[in-house]
């Protein structure tokens, strides 16, 4: 007997990362253009990870981390799931106050890219539940021996994901 299986959370995360790769840098540009203070540089993001235990060589970087999946049991012949997903963007800067503004702006771009957006083949909707701004950490830039600061913004998302399946 052949089975058409739902992809569940792995499919939702793959679609979410593909959506961010296609959309986030455009929204980063929109946010940068909207601000009058151009001293806060917002480099584009091209590094995406699906695990939190990675130390990226270059920042900014985005981490997509799953927390839980719940199943809605009111539908038939479909997997109706709600995935709690954290999307964290990590960046650094040599000046701490500029870094704070940078993270607010990256958070705004993430919200614009994710909130109330359909992803994948339209079988999932992303809703942003909140944004959390992590502590500012001091690091040492290896080449220059300078201090740098690192910070993250974490977007708490609810991904409402519906997939039809059937036993064939």
Q: Which tens digit of pLDDT belongs to each residue from 85-102? A: 999 999 999 999 999 999
Task: Give the whole-angstrom CA distance, residue 52 versus residue 39.
Answer: 30
Predicted local distance difference test score (pLDDT) of residue 140: 63
Q: Cα(27)–Cα(2) distance, rounded to whole angstroms?
A: 42
CA 55 – CA 14 distance, rounded (Å):
21
- The pTM assigned to this predicted structure is 0.90
d(C-alpha 116, C-alpha 127), whole Å:
5
- Domain segments of the chain: what residues? 3-94+118-167
Q: What is the CA radius of gyration of the chain?
A: 18
Q: pLDDT of 23-68, one tens digit each?
A: 999 999 999 999 999 999 999 999 999 988 888 878 999 999 999 9
Phi, psi of 157 (to 5 degrees): -115, 150
Instruction: Give all strands (DSSP E) within the chain, no chain letters.
Output: 3-4, 48-49, 61-72, 78-93, 117-119, 124-133, 137-140, 147-164, 166-167
Burial class (CB in 10 A: 0-12, 13-18, 19+), 48: middle
Sort 51 into a burial class: Cβ within 10 Å, 0-12 / 13-18 / 19+. exposed
Binned at pLDDT 50, 70 and 90, residue 106 comes out as very high
């Amino acid at each position: 007997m052949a089975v058409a299986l739902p992809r569940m959370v792995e499919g939702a995360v793959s679609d979410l990362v593909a959506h961010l790769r296609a959309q986030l840098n455009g929204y980063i540009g929109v946010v940068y253009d909207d601000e009058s203070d151009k001293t806060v540089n917002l480099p584009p993001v091209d590094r995406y990870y699906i695990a939190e235990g990675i130390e990226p060589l270059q920042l900014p970087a985005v981490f997509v981390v799953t927390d839980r999946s719940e199943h809605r049991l009111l539908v038939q012949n479909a997997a109706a799931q709600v995935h709690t997903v954290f999307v964290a963007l990590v960046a650094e800067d040599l000046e701490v106050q500029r870094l704070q503004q940078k993270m607010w702006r990256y958070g705004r771009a993430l919200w614009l890219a994710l909130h109330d957006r359909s992803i994948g083949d339209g079988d999932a909707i992303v809703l942003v539940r909140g944004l959390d701004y992590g502590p500012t950490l001091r690091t040492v830039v290896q080449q220059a021996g300078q201090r740098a600061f690192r910070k993250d913004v974490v977007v708490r998302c609810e991904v409402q994901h519906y997939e039809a399946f059937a036993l064939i």
